[in-house]
């Protein structure tokens, strides 16, 4: 099998069942691509032996007529998602060489439908970043322009998908870490409703924000992966018991809202703004209602997000201490030096910065001024989002205010990088589902994304409208 053009999971499965190729041949094809075509530093490791073993089992199921929904699906996972017996490191030196003792629930559910997990993908260390320049193992390059970033933190997942190296990849989204790189790499990226996909087996950054989601070529493939991974999980107490809805409430005409402040922002790239204005015009021409509104908390969302997520990161990352597992400094002489040296050597600058910020906002004398106040602001943002979606079907915006920027352009300006999340953090603060689909290209050939945000647990509606707009 020298060449294969991927169209969709359904197309691949049909070809597999028709014996046009075997799962083993298909896996070998994608393994070669991963091993020879990664110009992007997208991969942290390829699981050759286990992937071929899975492919052999899929071939046996095809012959027996029991192949699952994802038979032949070649999928990569972000380096913060656990897969039993395989290395996982969150792109950090503090977990270098660590092998997971269990699989994430999302991974188990994909495997149950005969997906083939083929490797792990580079990311910002502990998913902290908007450019994938914070990996301890080097930054990832954008497949559209190698001199630019792919977005973050799931940059390796987006780059591998954008380059066509694998059929789909998984990422995690804490404040835009799936949607922003999806926009930069011209693919579809989904952030589900909080609690819709289990976080069990996802290395935590900020537990009340994190969600696993897919990068795909099409909306239909995103929907298929979502429906397989979603649902209640006894291993995750925050996973929702709400029944999964797979049938959209179809309508002929929809009501979209967008924020006037977005179009009025001086930080908007003129070509991204024009692409969004053109999309609004196209929606109106198709008979949809599109309304510009003001959102009173727009300027408060990014500060609120960073106060809360750094606080949660400070708590979550306390477990990486050089004692229980992971890297232990060779310079350690006693317990205090073990903690200090292992964490100093193991964590990169951005992770250290966020741990210190989080520790500060949780400290005595500052807790009420920062953390408690941010929690109240988050509640206001959630209420305002729900109110807006009670009278409209979807909120739309550009996924990012500009196309992918040059590598190193913002590396020394953490505030500028934090502001990369300006359009995406609302969905994480409020817990709503949001998807980024390709919006169009700039004159330089750089991609952009259209973000669509829906009511909580209304993924079926989100997929339906996203399919219409792609």
Catalytic one among 153, 157, 222, 240?
A: 153
Query: Buried b vs exposed e over 79-117: b needs ≥16 C-beta within 10 Å?
Result: bbbbbbebbbbbbbbbbeebebeebbbbbbbbbebbbbb
How many other CB atoms are found less than 10 A from the CB of residue 335? 11
Angle at 19 between CA 13 and CA 21, to 5 degrees: 80
The tokens for 185 are 């790499």
Is 103 marked active-site?
no
Give me the half-sphere count of Cα atoms (radius 13 Å) on the Cβ side of residue 464: 17
CA distance 288 to 286: 6
Catalytic one among 177, 198, 240, 448?
A: 177
Give me the half-sphere count of Cα atoms (radius 13 Å) on the Cβ side of residue 451: 32
Catalytic one among 78, 141, 191, 410?
A: 78
The secondary structure of 145-190 as a DSSP string is -TTB---SSSHHHHHHHHTTSSSEEEEEESSSTTHHHHHHHTSEEE
Is 456 marked active-site?
no
CA distance 321 to 422: 33
Is 455 marked active-site?
no
Cβ pair 170, 214 in contact under 8 A = yes
Cite the active site residues: 78, 153, 177
């Amino acid at each position: 099998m020298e060449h294969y053009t991927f169209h969709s999971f359904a197309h691949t499965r049909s070809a597999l069942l028709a014996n046009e190729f075997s799962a083993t041949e298909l896996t070998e094809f994608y393994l070669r691509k991963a091993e020879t075509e990664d110009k992007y530093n997208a991969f942290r490791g390829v699981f050759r032996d286990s992937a071929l073993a899975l492919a052999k089992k899929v071939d046996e199921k095809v012959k027996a007529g029991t192949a699952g929904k994802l038979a032949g699906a070649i999928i990569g996972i972000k380096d913060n998602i656990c897969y039993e017996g395989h290395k996982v490191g969150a792109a950090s030196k503090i977990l270098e060489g660590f092998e997971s003792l269990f699989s994430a629930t999302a991974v188990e559910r994909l495997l149950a439908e005969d997906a083939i997990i083929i490797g792990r993908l580079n990311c910002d260390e502990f998913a902290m970043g908007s450019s994938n320049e914070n990996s301890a193992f080097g930054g990832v390059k954008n497949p559209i322009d190698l001199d630019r970033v792919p977005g973050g933190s799931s940059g390796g997942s987006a780059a591998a998908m954008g380059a066509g190296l694998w059929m789909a990849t998984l990422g995690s989204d804490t404040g835009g870490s799936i949607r922003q790189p999806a926009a930069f790499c011209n693919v579809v990226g989904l952030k589900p409703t909080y609690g819709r996909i289990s976080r069990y087996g996802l290395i935590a950054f900020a537990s009340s924000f994190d969600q696993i989601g897919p990068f795909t070529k099409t909306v239909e493939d995103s929907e298929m992966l979502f429906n397989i991974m979603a649902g209640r999980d006894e291993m995750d107490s925050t996973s929702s018991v709400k029944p999964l809805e797979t049938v959209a409430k179809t309508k002929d005409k929809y009501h979209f809202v967008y924020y006037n402040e977005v179009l009025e922002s001086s930080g908007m790239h003129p070509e991204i703004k024009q692409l969004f204005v053109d999309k609004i015009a196209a929606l109106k021409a198709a008979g949809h209602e599109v309304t510009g509104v003001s959102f009173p908390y727009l300027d408060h969302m990014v500060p609120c997000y960073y106060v809360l997520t750094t606080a949660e990161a400070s708590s979550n990352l306390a477990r990486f201490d050089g004692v229980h597992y992971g890297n232990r400094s060779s310079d350690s002489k006693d317990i205090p030096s073990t903690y200090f040296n292992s964490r100093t050597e193991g964590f990169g600058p951005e992770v250290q910065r966020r741990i210190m910020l989080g520790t500060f906002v949780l400290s005595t004398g500052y807790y009420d001024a920062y953390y408690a106040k941010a929690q109240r602001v988050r509640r206001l943002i959630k209420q305002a989002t729900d109110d807006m979606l009670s009278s409209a079907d979807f909120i739309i915006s550009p996924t990012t205010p500009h196309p992918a920027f040059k590598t190193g352009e913002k590396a020394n300006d953490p505030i500028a990088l934090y502001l990369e999340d300006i359009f995406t953090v609302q969905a994480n603060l409020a817990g709503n589902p949001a998807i980024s689909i390709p919006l169009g290209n700039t004159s330089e050939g750089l991609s952009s994304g259209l973000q669509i945000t829906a009511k909580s647990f209304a993924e079926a509606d989100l997929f339906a409208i996203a399919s219409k707009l792609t």
